[in-house]
Amino acid sequence: MSSFRRLARPVAAALLGLCVGLAVIAPAAAAPLSPGEKAEVSKAEQYLNDVTTLRARFLQASASGATAEGTMFLSRPGRMRLEYDPPSPILVIADGSYLIYYDKDLQQVSYVDLDSTPAGVLVQPQVKLDGDDQQVTKVVHQTGILQLTVIKRSDPSQ
């Protein structure tokens, strides 16, 4: 169980980063991945595919330095929930069809097709980061950290 706890935090951070768009946008023409980079991507896909349920705390940092904390829940396939701690009024839910963004202060709800969001990739029955729909454009491996930059092939700005 301790190894799960040790791994859950970075996985949750990675999932959150993908879900809320805290990824670096890669240039449209990316160099092909090396065999070593392809192996790293394959390991990441396998790890994500082995995760069916997850509950973890997260810390989200924006480019401006603002931070927010909360709890992430994942139940694959199809479901995810990001509960931000007060004072943030935001709740984000993936229900299998939509990514639902709820602002409690404004009592405003927005629905986005789940498959059109990065979260849609993570709640699929099988996560495929480098395939027909997505392309890994950058792999950075540091001690204890694997950072993948993934774009949507049909819209490289995503």
Other beta carbons within 10 angstroms of residue 37's beta carbon come to: 18
pLDDT at 157 over 90: no
Mean pLDDT of 79-88: 96
pLDDT at 141: 86
| Strand-strand pairing, 90-95 and 98-103 | antiparallel
| Measured distance CA(127)–CA(52) in Å, rounded | 11
Q: Which of 36-40, 41-45, 79-83, 144-148 has the lowest mean pLDDT?
A: 144-148
Mean pLDDT of 38-54: 95
Q: Which helix (H) or strand (E) holds 56?
A: strand 53-61
| Measured distance CA(34)–CA(128) in Å, rounded | 18
**Whether 115 contacts 96, CB under 8 Å:** no
What global pTM score does this model have? Answer: 0.71
Residue 14 phi/psi, 5-degree rounding, is: -65, -45
Mean pLDDT of 71-94: 96
Only one residue has tokens 């509960």, namely 83
Structure tokens at 73: 């829940």
Top pLDDT among 100 and 158 is at 100
